[in-house]
């Protein structure tokens, strides 16, 4: 894949999702105090963001010529071989959101992360009552969407660096309106 295709097919989709998330700030501030707020818009975003994330993980795994493994945890395990710090990457949101040290993939070590489990619960068992005594659709909340968006941003960053014609220079090229322009460890 070359840079122009990446921007047309993947980064454009990321920016659309990011824009939709930022628009929700008009109604629910993107702030830790609102992490548990759930909505239909967050549900739509979570389902779409996680689907996009899995697609990019598959593209990254397939680059070596092998067929990508089934399931997000297996795909991330595949990516960790090439990117051993993947689970440690963290991002910060930009002003005015001021949420620091989002490490969306750190819990993928032994199991899947809370936000990915929420995605699966919403996708497959939306009307089931969970351990907290609430319907699973209430997991379509700001925190899960924000962490999923951060994970997608990290995978977009890695995909961009893997392109044939970029020279592995990402800093400042992938302009996010939500996250700082570089990954941190």
Is the pLDDT higher at 167 or at 4?
4
Kindly provide the residue ranges of all beta strands, DSSP E only, lying in 27-155, ordered along the sequence.
Answer: none
Q: Which residue, among 28, 33, 150, 152, has the nearest Cα to 94 in the 3D structure?
A: 150
Distance, CA of 106 to CA of 88 (rounded, Å) = 6
Are the C-beta atoms of 105 and 119 separated by less than 8 Å?
A: no
**pLDDT number for residue 164:** 77
Are the C-beta atoms of 69 and 157 separated by less than 8 Å?
A: no
C-alpha distances out from residue 62 to 148, 153, 176, Å: 22, 19, 26
Q: What is the pLDDT of residues 71-125, one digit of tens each?
A: 898 999 899 988 999 999 999 999 999 899 999 999 886 668 899 999 999 999 9
- Report which secondary-structure segment, H or E, holds 54: helix 40-62
**pLDDT number for residue 69:** 87
Are the C-beta atoms of 134 and 122 separated by less than 8 Å?
A: no
Retrieve residue 96's tokens.
Answer: 């005015």
The pTM assigned to this predicted structure is 0.94
The mean pLDDT value for 50-67 works out to 90
Contacts of 59 (CB under 8 A, 6+ apart): 1, 159
């Amino acid at each position: 894949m070359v840079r122009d295709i990446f921007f047309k097919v993947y980064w454009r989709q990321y920016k659309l999702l990011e824009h939709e998330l930022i628009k929700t700030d008009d109604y629910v501030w993107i702030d830790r105090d609102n992490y548990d707020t759930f909505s239909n818009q967050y549900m739509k975003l979570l389902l779409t963001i996680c689907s996009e994330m899995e697609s990019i993980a598959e593209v990254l795994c397939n680059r070596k010529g092998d067929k990508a493994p089934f399931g997000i945890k297996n795909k991330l395990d595949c990516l960790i071989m090439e990117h051993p710090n993947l689970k440690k990457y963290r991002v910060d949101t930009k002003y005015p959101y001021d949420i620091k040290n989002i490490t969306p993939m750190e819990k993928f070590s032994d199991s899947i992360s809370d936000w990915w489990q929420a995605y699966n619960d919403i996708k497959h068992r939306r009307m089931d009552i969970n351990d907290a005594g609430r319907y699973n659709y209430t997991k379509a909340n700001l925190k899960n969407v924000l962490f999923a968006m951060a994970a997608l941003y990290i995978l977009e960053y890695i995909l961009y660096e893997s392109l044939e014609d970029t020279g592995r220079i990402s800093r400042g090229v992938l302009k996010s309106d939500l996250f700082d322009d570089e990954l941190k460890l």
